[in-house]
């Protein structure tokens, strides 16, 4: 039995296979419509979510399976003081696979110690978000045609943004990848990523504050929201929340093939006027998120179609 805590739980070869499967699902959805008949997915969400939870549920429903779960810690027995370990032991009796989101880093990992069903980390605090990364990889591979030879700009909250941390971990395994980290000084990428991931692998990167100065050299711009819920005080959040606003004027400085990605939800960091730009890929990204989660469920349940 296999759990997914980080994108590194898959080798590059396994990821290729998973993305191939997701592309086949995109092309031939009918072939997979009953692949998970009789199977149940549980979604255990201790922290708010729209896309991740619903895309997991949509994925299981499109595979013919059923879903159950909770979308809010307050409506689960966590509110009575039940531990994650006890909850997962019980869920193992109700479902075949589960996706868990939790505000504490490592909570899904704790669940794996007692779970008798595969556990998927659907976001743990500011740490990792592997299924968003699978979504991002499928979007890049589908729309750019490759996962190597890319200059990637990551902009916004690089300190608390778990999608950023997971994506960096995943992309450094491909050839000729360089990063441009665009953030205010307070929201720079954590030292452990700089030291253990980038420097350790000799990856080329620069850290800058102004998006305008670097946007022209990017193949891909990954925008992120300032993670309000991880700030210690509201004042800092208010000061930093509108630090970056991607608008038509800035898009005019970018390459004609540069893609704009965003894990969503968007707050103000991308102006709605950018939505109609053909380079805006963030809503397509949402659709890829369903295919890739379908592929992940099939892989973890070892269902062959």
According to CB under 6 A, which one of 87, 128, 132, 151 is a site residue for ligand NCD? 132
Question: What is the x/- site pattern for ligand NCD, positions 160-189, by CB under 6 A?
Answer: --xx--------------------------
Residue selected from 3, 62, 129, 293 as contacting ligand NCD according to rule CB under 6 A: 129
Residues 6 or more apart in contact with residue 44 via CB below 8 angstroms: 69, 70, 76, 87, 88, 91, 98, 99, 100, 101
Give residues with Cβ within 8 angstroms of 34, minimum separation 6. 63, 64
296 binds ligand NCD per the rule CB under 6 A: no
Q: Which of 3, 39, 159, 225 binds ligand NCD (CB under 6 A)?
A: 225
Q: Which of the ranges 167-175, 192-200, 208-216, 261-269 carries the binding residues for ligand NCD, by CB under 6 A? A: 261-269
Q: Are 15 and 171 in contact (CB under 8 A)?
A: no
Binding to ligand NCD (CB under 6 A) within 262-281 occurs at 263-265
Give whichever of 35 and 223 is closer to ligand NCD, judged by the CB atom.
Answer: 223
**Least spacing, CB of residue 52 vs ligand NCD, in Å:** 4
Nearer Cβ to ligand NCD (159/225): 225
Please provide the DSSP assignment of 170-231 as one string.
HHTTSTTEEEEEE--GGGPPPHHIIIIIIIHHT-EEEEES-HHHHGGG-SEEEE----GGG-
Return the number of the residue (6 or 32) whose C-beta is nearest ligand NCD.
Answer: 6
Size of the site for ligand NCD (CB under 6 A): 11
Instruction: In whole angstroms, give the CA distance from residue 229 to residue 209.
Output: 23
Interaction site with ligand NCD (CB under 6 A):
51-52, 123, 129, 132, 162-163, 225, 263-265
């Amino acid at each position: 039995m296999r759990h997914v805590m980080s994108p590194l739980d898959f080798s590059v070869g396994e990821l290729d296979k998973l993305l191939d499967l997701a592309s086949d699902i995109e092309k031939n959805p009918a072939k997979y419509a009953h692949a998970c008949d009789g199977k149940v997915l549980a979604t255990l969400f201790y922290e708010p979510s729209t896309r991740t939870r619903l895309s997991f549920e949509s994925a299981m429903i499109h595979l013919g399976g059923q879903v159950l779960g909770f979308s809010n810690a307050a409506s689960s027995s966590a509110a009575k003081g039940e531990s994650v370990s006890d909850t997962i032991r019980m869920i193992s009796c109700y479902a075949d696979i589960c996706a868990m989101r939790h505000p504490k880093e490592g909570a899904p990992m704790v669940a794996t110690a007692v779970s008798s069903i595969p556990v998927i980390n659907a976001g743990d605090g500011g740490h990792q978000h592997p299924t968003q990364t699978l979504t991002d990889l499928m979007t890049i591979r589908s729309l750019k045609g490759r996962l190597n030879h890319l200059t990637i700009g990551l902009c916004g909250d690089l300190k608390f943004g778990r999608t950023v941390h997971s994506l960096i971990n995943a992309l450094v395994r491909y050839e000729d990848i360089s990063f441009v980290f665009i953030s205010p000084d307070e929201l720079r990428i954590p030292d452990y990523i700089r030291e253990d991931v980038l420097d350790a692998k000799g990856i080329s990167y620069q850290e800058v504050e102004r998006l305008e100065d670097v946007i022209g050299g990017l193949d891909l711009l990954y925008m992120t929201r300032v993670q309000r819920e991880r700030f210690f005080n509201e004042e800092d959040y208010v000061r930093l929340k509108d630090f970056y606003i991607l608008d038509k004027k800035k898009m005019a400085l970018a390459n004609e093939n540069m893609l704009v990605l965003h894990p969503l939800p968007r707050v103000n960091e991308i102006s709605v006027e950018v939505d109609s730009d053909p380079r805006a890929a963030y809503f397509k990204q949402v659709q890829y998120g369903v295919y890739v989660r379908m592929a992940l469920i099939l892989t973890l349940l070892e269902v062959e179609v």
